[in-house]
């Protein structure tokens, strides 16, 4: 195994031990929660300044929204878990996975906009009720679905591992030179687009609490359009962090696959990676689910 791959794997193992074996996850959770509170207080102050007509207040508010989105993604949550786990277990290109990160983050922001708009205009709900619905209904639902998807990925990886056979020649006719069966790349492309909908849906189903906070305040101040744009800017901030996770996951996967001596070895490694990623997603999602129920 190459020294760079060994070093990378050692760092991953060390981080995992610190996060789940030495209480690192709680440290990160507390840090992220404090940062989110500080940014929310800053957004409230910016809204007061905006209402008072102070110059630069609007750009300052959206700047805080961008910061909040990034910090929120860095804390405990399901977006990076889905993106990172999918990138480790499925051989999808980095730019496509980064595109999924952007699409899912913006979809999550759009979910918050739709959720708040319907709740306040149709049902007349307040901030406390909306936050409770997001935290105690939609969060457990999303974590439960992610755990099921993790189990599905694990089962799919296990089936592939059991079906692994010696390499066979490509399905290309020697007479006409055309392929009479789908290539691995074509099969993966179909699967990737099918999975993409699930990835985006799993992340988007749980609206961001910070976006709800901002949308409720701007609705009350009669500047709702400011909140809608702010929620989308939060999505951009979240996408920036999950995009980093996407590239890191693809880098980790490809550095491992680079050790494969043949196509069959690569198939085995990918099956094991998908199995391991599924187990990891299911385990972490279950842990997050237990924290909110």
Q: What is the pLDDT of residues 151-172, one digit of tens each?
A: 888 888 888 878 765 555 444 4
What is this structure's pTM? Answer: 0.73
Q: What is the pLDDT of residues 73-106, one digit of tens each?
A: 776 666 777 888 888 777 788 888 889 889 999 9
Read off the pLDDT of each residue in 265-269 and give the average, rounded to a whole number.
73
The answer to whether 172 and 182 have CB atoms below 8 angstroms apart is: no
Number of domains the chain is built from = 1
Beta bridge partners of 172: 179
Q: Is residue 109 part of a domain?
A: yes
The answer to whether 153 and 274 have CB atoms below 8 angstroms apart is: yes
Q: Is residue 179 part of a domain?
A: no
How many C-beta atoms surround the C-beta of residue 63 within 10 A? 15
Average pLDDT, the chain: 77
- Structural domain containing residue 257: 3-164+185-292
Q: Is residue 173 part of a domain?
A: no
- Token readout for 140 is 């457990």
Q: Is residue 174 part of a domain?
A: no
Q: Is residue 177 part of a domain?
A: no
Q: Is residue 178 part of a domain?
A: no
Q: Is residue 189 part of a domain?
A: yes
The answer to whether 281 and 83 have CB atoms below 8 angstroms apart is: no
Q: Is residue 66 part of a domain?
A: yes
């Amino acid at each position: 195994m190459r020294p760079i791959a060994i070093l990378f794997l050692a760092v991953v193992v060390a981080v995992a031990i610190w996060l789940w074996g030495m209480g690192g996850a709680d440290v990160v959770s507390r840090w992220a929660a404090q940062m989110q509170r500080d940014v929310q207080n800053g957004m409230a102050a910016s809204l007061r300044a905006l209402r008072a007509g102070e110059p630069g207040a609007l750009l300052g508010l959206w700047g805080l929204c961008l910061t909040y989105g990034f910090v929120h993604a860095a804390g405990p949550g399901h977006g990076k878990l889905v993106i990172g786990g999918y990138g480790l277990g499925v051989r999808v290109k980095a730019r496509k996975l980064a595109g999924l990160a952007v699409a899912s983050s913006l979809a999550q922001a759009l979910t918050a906009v739709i959720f708040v708009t319907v709740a306040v205009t149709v049902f007349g709900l307040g901030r406390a009720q909306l936050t409770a619905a997001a935290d105690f209904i939609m969060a457990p639902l999303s974590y439960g679905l992610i755990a099921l998807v993790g189990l599905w990925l694990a089962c799919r990886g296990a089936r592939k591992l059991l079906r692994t056979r010696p390499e066979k020649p490509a399905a290309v006719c020697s007479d006409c030179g055309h392929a009479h069966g789908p290539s691995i790349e074509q099969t993966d492309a179909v699967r990737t687009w099918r999975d993409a909908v699930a990835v985006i849906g799993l992340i988007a189903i749980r609206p961001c609490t910070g976006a709800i906070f901002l949308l409720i305040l701007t609705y009350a101040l009669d500047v709702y359009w400011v909140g809608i744009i702010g929620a989308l800017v939060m999505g951009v901030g979240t996408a920036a962090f999950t995009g980093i996770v996407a590239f890191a996951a693809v880098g980790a996967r490809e550095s491992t696959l680079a050790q494969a001596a043949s196509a069959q070895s690569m198939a085995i490694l990918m099956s094991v990676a998908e199995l391991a990623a599924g187990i990891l997603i299911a385990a972490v999602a279950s842990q997050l689910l237990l924290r909110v129920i």
